[in-house]
Amino acid sequence: MTRYRLSTADFDALVGGGGTPATLRRVRDGERSHRLLLFDLFLDLAHDRPEASGPLPPVDTAWQLLRAAEARDPAGVGELLLAPETGLWLAATLRRLTGAVDAEAPLWVDTGQFHALAAAAAVRAGLDCTLTVPTRQGTVWLPSLGRAVTKGAVRPWGTARVSCTRGELTVRIGDRTVRVAPDHGTQSAHWQPARALTLPIRGEPTTVLLDDLGTHRIDPAATAGPPRRLPGREAQEWEALLRDAAVLLEETDPQSAIDAAVLLRSIEPLPPPETARAVSATSGDGVGRFAATMPPDALQLAAVVAHEIQHSKLGALMHLYALYEPGDDSLCYAPWRDDPRPVRGLLQGIYAFTGVARFWRGRALHPDTPGAEADAAHFEYGLWRRQLLRVFPELRDHAGLTDLGRRTVQRLSETVLSWSGPPRSGSAYAMAEDAADHHAACWRLYHVVPDRAAVTALARAWPGSPRTSGQGAPGRVLSNPRVSRLDTLACLYRTGLRDRAALERIGDDPAALQALVPGARPAELLHVLGDGEGAVKLAVTALQEREDDPEPLWAGLLIALRALGYEAAGPVLERPELAHAVYQELDRTGRATPDPVTFVGWLSGRVSGD
């Protein structure tokens, strides 16, 4: 078997966020090898489990049909085996076969999707065939071809007969026979063809599947039942957005255009989000695919592609090289998440958001970007650049990384540092600094437990000399499951850059604020609108009145004080959990709680002097 390796130069280019088309094709070839190893494991495990076949023919029957199809159409079968949706099904089924997970469907329904894959490969190759495949709620999904459906009451699980004779495809489900047009692309009452979109990326047609039919998906909320077919108009909107996004990628971020041209193979549309926050995700099991809610415009979709295709690049690379130690369970700060992340998750995050920062930098510097859009792009670039530079130093020396993992962090750090830093002036970058530091402060307030001895000593010292005590040992990271929406300040700034009047109309109506940016605090809104003194007053009042969930109040207070030029806020922003814990300790022990601003000034002397 071929051993896939990259040269040192190609590895460094790839882990730095780049890579030529030839390098990316090499990585994709490695992914194909990885996929074939998984198929070998699947065949071995399924062969030893009689219940894996159930009422279906043995897996060897499907395997022989697949090999016959490959002999006639090796390129077509190769693409089908490497398809992201094939990887999602294969990984999920292997987890069932090894006993790692269970599911509602009988095991043979999942393993039997291999029969449907073999049948689809044979049909594509023009082979005559007949094979029994599983059904889910009366539907049969033939990968890359389409889905046969029946109407009326159907059993959750069952079998169907797929036949192809001289190019004529039929699917018999129960007593109904579904006849499919020769091109397989004509929709009927009982046949839903796969939606393959042809996108112009880098001057060449790239085929991307808009997958609203497949049974195994990225979305963890997907049930065992078949997914909803997108209405025709919604599918057309996706196609139009994707075409425009492809053009924007080439203009704004040529590297992401290269990545998409080589790797992107399918998109999984998600239902509309409950809030204005867009949702997207990838899976290492389905390299070349992402799931996403429909963005509001092509620019946002282009940013999603730049983000998610980076995950696919690193996912494929991780199938070739070990970048982290599998036993490490330490938790780290990830500026794009509400929760602490293991080192493997943080690696994926810094890689993906380097692509995001690169995309917005390109958009901000593009000469044809309109003024308001350029301001928003400068904000996004400044935000993600600052977030990345916050986590690189800690991660670079993390014990949970292999030598190649540390090399990856170093190359990414060099990439980001090679970009020109934001100017110290400029409102967009000031907003980005606020948003980044607010998120970090909120995260520490929720997830970092400060040294208890230091908290007790500081509480006893109040209001004594600022040189009589220190901040103690570093805090412990403990995941707090009740945390959500730490990016409220960033969301408010984004809204203001797009439509400042929308923020101004909120006034003092808390319901209107929550409808626009769920989780945002009134003090945060005043800060974004430029009323720093009002923001401080609201935060101080809320803390003194002991409102519930005080953590974001402390973060908002410190950000607002810093913006007003109160230098004492800066050192406390680095350890805001100390301020919160000591203030609570004063209250718990019956001491009179001080004015929060005075308290911050006092604590700053101790933190900065340590």
Question: Is 537 a residue whose pLDDT tops 50?
Answer: yes
Contact 312, 282 (CB under 8 A): yes
The pLDDT-based confidence of 113 (bands split at 50, 70, 90) is very high
The lowest-confidence range among 253-267, 268-282, 285-299, 595-609 is 268-282
463: Cβ contacts below 8 Å, ≥ 6 apart: 594, 602
Only one residue has tokens 């004594």, namely: 464
Contact 457, 342 (CB under 8 A): no
Percent over 90 (pLDDT), the chain: 80
Q: How many helices (H) and strands (E) does the chain have?
A: 23, 16
Question: Is 208 a residue whose pLDDT tops 70?
Answer: yes
Question: Which residue did the predictor score with more confidence, 156 or 65?
Answer: 65
How much is the average pLDDT of 426-434? Answer: 92
Adjacency order of strands within the sheet including 139-142: 176-180, 168-173, 157-165, 129-136, 139-142, 146-149, 191-193
3-class SS shares of the chain: helix, strand, coil, % to 5: 55, 10, 35
Read off the DSSP letter of residue 102. Answer: -
Here the tokens at position 232 are 């025709």
Here the tokens at position 190 are 């009982």
Strand partners, 289: 266
Query: What value, to the nearest 5°, has the Cα angle with vertex 363 and ends 362 and 369?
Result: 135
Query: What's the chain's Rg over C-alpha atoms?
Result: 27
Question: Which residue did the predictor score with more confidence, 200 or 522?
Answer: 522
Pick from 514, 517, 538, 542: nearest CA to 526: 538
Distance, in Å, from the CA atom of 512 to the CA atom of 583, rounded to the nearest integer, reads 31
Strand partners, 171: 162, 178
Distance, in Å, from the CA atom of 183 to the CA atom of 124, rounded to the nearest integer, reads 10
- Beta-strand pair 204-210/266-269: parallel
Distance, in Å, from the CA atom of 543 to the CA atom of 561, rounded to the nearest integer, reads 15
Distance, in Å, from the CA atom of 558 to the CA atom of 434, rounded to the nearest integer, reads 10
Read off the DSSP letter of residue 360. Answer: H
The lowest-confidence range among 276-285, 382-391, 573-582 is 276-285
How much is the average pLDDT of 239-243? Answer: 95
Adjacency order of strands within the sheet including 204-210: 195-201, 204-210, 266-269, 289-292, 280-281
Per-residue pLDDT at 426:
77
Scanning 448-575, the segments in alpha helix (DSSP H) are 452-461, 488-504, 510-516, 522-528, 532-544, 551-563, 569-574
Q: What is the mean pLDDT of the chain?
A: 92
The pLDDT-based confidence of 248 (bands split at 50, 70, 90) is very high
Per-residue pLDDT at 610:
45
Question: Which residue did the predictor score with more confidence, 289 or 48?
Answer: 289
Pick from 79, 42, 28, 92: nearest CA to 287: 28
Scanning 267-331, the segments in alpha helix (DSSP H) are 298-318
Burial 127-154 (b: 16+ CB within 10 A, else e): bebebbbbbbebbbbbbbbbbbbbeeeb
Q: What is the pTM of this model?
A: 0.93
Question: Is 19 a residue whose pLDDT tops 50?
Answer: yes
Phi first, then psi: what are they for 198, rounded to 5°?
Answer: -105, 115
Amino acid at 218: I
Q: What is the pLDDT of residues 355-376, one digit of tens each?
A: 999 999 999 999 999 988 999 9
Question: Which residue did the predictor score with more confidence, 607 or 526?
Answer: 526
How much is the average pLDDT of 91-102? Answer: 93
The secondary element (H helix, E strand) that includes residue 148 is strand 146-149
The pLDDT-based confidence of 468 (bands split at 50, 70, 90) is very low
Distance, in Å, from the CA atom of 188 to the CA atom of 179, rounded to the nearest integer, reads 9
